[in-house]
C-alpha cells in the first residue's frame, strides 16, 4: 500500500500470464503490468484499504525449477478489519542467477476487486 510498484514488478517474469475468472490476460512488459498494479492499488485506496497481508495456504516443493504457492491476501482497513480477501495461485520459477524465485504465472481464484480485472482490456496488454 506504500505505492512501491516498481519494486513489486521486480518479482515477475515477463511476459506474465494472469488468469482472472475465465479470462487469460498476458502482459508482455513491466510497463503494461505496472498499469494493472496501479489500478489495483488505486481501487484498494478508494475502498479504504490501508494494509494487505498474505496468508500462505499451501506451498509446493520446487521441482525442475518451479513450484506452486496458494495465498490469501486480506485487505484491511485502518482499524484492522478485513474488508476483502483475494485467493491467488502463483507459479514460481527458480533461477540460479536470481536471489529469490520470481512469479511466472498468476491465477486469481477469488478476486477482491473483480471490477479491476474487468478493466484490464483497457490496458496495453501485449
Closest CA to 103 of 8, 37, 38: 8
> What is the pTM (predicted TM-score) of this model?
0.87
pLDDT surpassing 90 at residue 3 = no
- Cβ atoms of 40 and 61 closer than 8 Å: no
Q: What is the pLDDT of residues 29-68, one digit of tens each?
A: 999 999 989 999 999 999 999 999 999 999 999 999 999 9
Residue 6 DSSP symbol: H
Closest CA to 1 of 81, 58, 78: 78
Q: What is the pLDDT of residues 109-124, one digit of tens each?
A: 999 988 887 776 544 4
**Domain map of the chain by residue range?**
5-122
- Widest Cα–Cα separation across the chain: 43
CATH topology classification for 5-122: Nuclear Transport Factor 2; Chain: A, (3.10.450)
Amino acid at each position: 500500500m506504500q505505492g512501491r510498484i516498481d519494486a513489486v514488478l521486480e518479482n515477475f517474469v515477463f511476459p506474465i500470464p494472469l488468469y482472472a475468472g475465465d479470462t487469460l490476460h498476458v502482459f508482455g512488459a513491466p510497463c503494461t503490468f505496472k498499469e494493472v498494479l496501479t489500478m489495483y492499488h488505486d481501487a484498494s485506496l478508494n475502498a479504504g484499504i490501508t494494509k494487505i497481508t498474505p496468508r500462505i495456504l499451501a506451498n509446493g516443493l520446487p521441482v525442475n525449477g518451479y513450484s506452486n504457492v496458494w495465498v490469501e491476501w486480506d485487505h484491511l482497513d485502518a482499524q484492522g478489519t478485513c474488508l476483502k480477501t483475494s485467493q491467488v495461485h502463483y507459479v514460481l520459477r527458480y533461477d540460479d542467477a536470481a536471489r529469490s524465485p520470481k512469479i511466472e504465472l498468476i491465477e486469481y481464484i477469488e478476486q477482491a476487486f473483480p471490477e479491476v480485472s474487468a478493466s484490464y482490456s483497457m490496458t496495453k496488454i501485449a
